[in-house]
Amino acid sequence: MTFCKNILLLSFLLIGLNSFAQTDSVQFGKLEVKVIDAKNKKPIEYALVTIEKDSFRKSKYADDNGLAIFDNLPTETYIITTSFPGYSKTIIEDLILKAKTITKRTIVLDSKTCNPVINIDREPIIKPDEPTPKILINKQIMRMPY
């Protein structure tokens, strides 16, 4: 009986060592993306930065300094997409992340020019609600929604 226990214990130890060996073979890196405005070179706060590879996808918002940091990423080739309202979306393809290093990228976003909406009919776009009559009859009260 003790022989079976020793074999069972030994097999669990070997399985445990094998799982540690597999995690060491996967290399990880770190990615720092700084998002700045093209005109004034100031950081863009809360810009959305997304990295993806096949079915893997991770997104973060840039902090007050326009910086989005992704830790513990497997060494792969990624696509980075950066966007913010009022700016053109930027896509960087084939970003290679190296093991045990910090990969830094600065992404410059150009602001879009907005074309104003022109109202040709000169009618207000949003019309005010019609006022409710002061005196309501029973039929009007019965038709009111709850």
**Residue 125 in this model has a pLDDT that exceeds 60:** no
- Greater confidence (78 vs 115) lies with 78
Q: What's the CA dihedral at 42, 107, 82, 99 to 10 degrees?
A: -130
* Domain range annotation of the chain: 27-109
For the entire predicted model, the pTM comes to 0.61
Gap between the Cα atoms of 64 and 45, Å rounded: 5
Encode pLDDT of 27-42 as tens digits: 899 999 999 999 999 9
User: What is the topology classification, in CATH, of domain 27-109?
Assistant: Immunoglobulin-like (2.60.40)
**Residue 62 in this model has a pLDDT that exceeds 90:** yes
Encode pLDDT of 8-22 as tens digits: 556 666 665 555 545
